[in-house]
Structure 1
Amino acid sequence: MPMKRQKRDKLERAFSRGFQAGLSGKSKENCPYQTVDSKMQWLGGWREAIDGRTTGLFTK
Structure 2
Amino acid sequence: MRRLKRDPMERAYLRGYQHGVHGKSQELCPFTHPTTRQAWLNGWREGRADHWDGLTGTAGIHRLNEMRAVG
TM bracket (short chain): 0.7 to 0.9
RMSD across aligned positions (CA): 2.0
Number of residue pairs the alignment of both structures matches: 54
Question: Does 1 or 2 have the higher relative contact order (CA < 8 Å, sep 6+)?
Answer: 1
Where does structure 2 lack aligned partners over 5 or more consecutive residues? 61-71
Please give the TM-score of this superposition, normalised by the length of structure 2. Answer: 0.67
The runs of 4+ residues in structure 1 deviating greater than 6 Å are: none
- Equivalent-residue separation in structure 1 for 2:55 and 2:14 (angstroms): 17
Please give the TM-score of this superposition, normalised by the length of structure 1. Answer: 0.78
The 5 Å alignment of 1:1-60 reads 9-59=7-57
Greater fraction helix: 1
Where does structure 1 lack aligned partners over 5 or more consecutive residues? 1-5
Identity percentage of aligned residues: 43
